[in-house]
Structure 1
Amino acid sequence: MQRSTTSHLLLVSLLYWCGWLIATGVASAQTPSTDPASQAGPHIAVLLPLKSASIGRQADAVRLGILEASKVHRATTLPVIVHATGDDAYDVVQAYEEAVRSGAQLVIGPLMRSAVTALSGTKLVTVPTLALNAPEVDTAIPPALYVFGLQVENEAKQVAQLARKQSRKNAVIVASDAPLSRRLAQAFADEFARHGGTIQDEFSYTSDTPSLMKLRDSLAAGFGDVIFLALDATRARLIRSYLGNSTPIFATSMVHSSNDALSSHELDGVYFVDMPWLLTPDHPAVMSYSRNDQAGLEFQRFYALGIDAYRICQELLRGSQSAAPIDGVTGYITLGRDHRFLREPIPAQFTQGEMRLLGEGVSGLPQ
């Protein structure tokens, strides 16, 4: 009887401790986790700042574009797993390390420049990785790291090439004090000079009427034969009326911020470049994907970035050192030096409240 009682107490004790272990989570390793990084196995990891208050919406647009492309292009059986991060570059690097450890065969991201810079300075990049922005410093990047994105500095270079192809030799640049505007101005100036052109002068953007009239008079006197606006749409619209119509005006996609006819009228005559996703929505390659025209242009640009990022990754997964060119929705994409994918958008012009495509050979540009 005593032995039976002792056995009963031991059994009760054992059941109690098992219940306590489960309740306190010590045995939680036996339960599935909702954390994507814990889902071990081969996959494509998508590293995006979805938790960011400043760029979370753009990151979600990229996510949706990637998922849309994964439905259309089923060249791989690898699942796509999204790893949500915040703004902190250190946290992004940690998330990257966890993604690779959990079985990522390829990584898309990071999206923010600070995070790309931090990652490129480590030795963690051991699988093909497509960063969606350029590092902040122009230095060598890890062999497995590739760079692609919506950097408008590259658009400024393309605009400089377009101007030189039309025998424009003397450029006038209008830029603000904003860091991005300064980078645009420098990119245009370097490329224009590299192709034999001369930067005649650079004007600082201002809303001061006397200063704008001085700029107008200088242009009327034949001071330059081409104008480059390193400005966003708001500033470009404010300054446009002072630039006249005799000198060709070039800009980047930054001036195309709305499909509103009035906004387009205010930029009448300005040449710019932008992605096929926005300029040729009826093109068969663009129509392959679902779209939401009610979303703003910024959202659509990042959505298109996600689509092309996934397509590039299909090339990288094939293991080729020279990825085939892609007729993408963000532009014609080729692999350049230093593992940097180059995106060539298409030229257009604001004309009477509409956007007119210039077509191949940019035949619509003034001679």
Structure 2
Amino acid sequence: MFTGLMKMSARAALVAGLLASWAALAPNTATAADSVPLLAQTATPALPAAGVGAGNGGAVILPPGSSSEAQAEAAGLPATPAAAAPVRMAVLLPNRSGAFGAAADAVRTGLLTAYSRQKDNIQLSIIETGDSAADMQRAYDEASARFDILIGPLSRSAVTAVAQSGRVSKPTIALAQPDMAGEGEMQLPAQMLAVGLSIDEEARQVANWVEKEKAPGKIFAISTGVAWQKRAARSFQLRARQLGMQVETLELSTPSNALSAPGLAQLAKRVEQEKPALLFLALDASQAVQLRSAVGTELPLYGTSQINPFTLKRDNPNDKLPELDGVRLIDIPWQLQADNVAVARYPRPTINDNERPNPDLARLYALGIDAYRIAYGIAQQRSGFDVDGVTGRLNVNMVSGGATYFQRQETQAIYQDGWPVPTADQY
């Protein structure tokens, strides 16, 4: 049953290609197409650009290479903005036929869903671009001349390129985190917010949670050699050390697409001898099950959203992971809280009858919803505001000519009866 649960759809394979970097990532389970979380994105070779404009008259398909002026004209946007003119938003996403297609489509659907419920005085244009950072930079520069607020790019490399270009002059809601230089954070331009889901930030939030609950003793942060897992373990370690905790990172090998049996035996021996306070798992759900079987159920385990392979829209309510009961994790409300007011407001994306819900695409759909809600708040000239979002509790600050600030607080959960359930107490 569990093997069937963890298989990803053909559509998810497209997404894994997108995430060959959340720089090129190796698979963390069965194949490159089955393994990499949506939170790690990278650019791929350029493809012909195309555009879609959505103005007051609906969607308009634009030919490849259309200028932003043509896009604005096709979308019915005014050439000269007046005092009471609608706020013009442009969404920059990779085209649907490229390696980013499945991810871009999920974000696009979420954005349009939120727009349909909150469109007062907003004209929204969706501009499809090539996949490369250079393609996105050209599209961004053109759109900046015609639109008031920009949403995008989607890939980490494209966000990095735009952030470093020195040409961010309009409010920009980036849909991914920029690539970090070493262990520090990139200083974003004053008009840019990076709101993408981040496995690194999740790891830091888990460290904050652990600091409030853990017993004295060393912590082991466990990963494999996959890049996103190593980053998550490192981010947890750095934040935990800032909070005064002692953390050692341990890397397990993955022969035959599973955690190494000798490696797990060695880990179990160290756990028995050194008695760590807890383990942080920078792993996916199937790997977490393997590790739990090796170290037993007594030791507290914490992880990120990647140990939650479920969505709230379940095709088989009997699918469960009782092997992980008691394991703690954080994830976005969209994946955990059906009764959350913000979550209940929006419909679930439709999927084919023979297709399993994909949790990473679900998270990107939710990201699209919250990205639009953030842009809408900025369009209302609110310099600082909070959003009860479907991706978490959001705090946004964008002061004209001043510093920008964005923070997302995700939801704590614990596995009960094979299913991640939000905890009563949230820090």
CA contact (8 A) 2:308 2:420 kept: no
Matches within 5 A, 1:94-105: 94-101=138-145, 103-105=146-148
Unpaired runs of at least 5, structure 1: 1-31, 363-367
CA contact (8 A) 1:172 1:202 kept: yes
CA contact (8 A) 1:51 1:85 kept: no
1:58 match: secondary structure = helix
Q: Which amino acid in 1 is paired with 2:409? A: E
Give the equivalent residue in structure 1 for 2:407: 342
Computing the radius of gyration from Cα coordinates, the structure with the larger value is 1
Give the equivalent residue in structure 2 for 1:213: 265
1:298 aligns with 2:360: yes
Distance 1:243 1:99, change over 3 A: same
1:125 aligns with 2:168: yes
Distance 1:250 1:307, change over 3 A: same
Q: Of the candidates 389, 402, 414, which is equivalent to residue 328 of structure 1?
A: 389
1:38-65 deviations in whole A, cap 9, x for unaligned?
A: 1333620000113453221111111111
Matches within 5 A, 1:69-84: 69-74=114-119, 76-84=120-128
The aligned length equals 328
User: What CA distance in whole angstroms lies between the structure 1 residues aligned with 2:300 and 2:247?
Assistant: 15
User: What CA distance in whole angstroms lies between the structure 2 residues aligned with 1:219 and 1:359?
Assistant: 29
User: What CA distance in whole angstroms lies between the structure 2 residues aligned with 1:104 and 1:56?
Assistant: 24
1:106-157 deviations in whole A, cap 9, x for unaligned?
A: 0000000010111111132111000011111333222111111111111101
Distance 1:305 1:136, change over 3 A: same
1:270 aligns with 2:327: yes
Distance 1:33 1:172, change over 3 A: closer
CA contact (8 A) 2:89 2:123 kept: yes
Greater helix percent: which structure? 1
Q: Kindly report the root-mean-square deviation, in angstroms, between the aligned alpha carbons of the 2 structures.
A: 2.2
Deviation at 1:340, TM superposition (A): 4.5
* Identity of matched residues, %: 32
Unpaired runs of at least 5, structure 2: 1-59, 78-86, 352-356
Q: Of the candidates 238, 247, 271, which is equivalent to residue 290 of structure 2?
A: 238
Q: Of the candidates 153, 156, 162, which is equivalent to residue 200 of structure 2?
A: 153
Q: TM-score, normalised by structure 1?
A: 0.83
Deviating runs (4+, > 6 A) in structure 1?
Answer: none
Matches within 5 A, 1:141-220: 141-169=188-216, 170-200=218-248, 202-206=250-254, 207-220=259-272
1:19-43 deviations in whole A, cap 9, x for unaligned?
A: xxxxxxxxxxxxx993573133362
Give the equivalent residue in structure 2 for 1:26: none
Q: Which amino acid in 2 is paired with 1:307? A: I
User: What CA distance in whole angstroms lies between the structure 1 residues aligned with 2:267 and 2:95?
Assistant: 44
Q: TM-score, normalised by structure 2?
A: 0.72
CA contact (8 A) 1:113 1:134 kept: yes
1:188 match: secondary structure = helix
User: What CA distance in whole angstroms lies between the structure 2 residues aligned with 1:357 and 1:229?
Assistant: 18
Give the equivalent residue in structure 2 for 1:314: 376
2:166 match: secondary structure = coil
1:276-325 deviations in whole A, cap 9, x for unaligned?
A: 1111122222111121364422221111000000111122223344x211
Q: Which amino acid in 2 is paired with 1:150? A: L
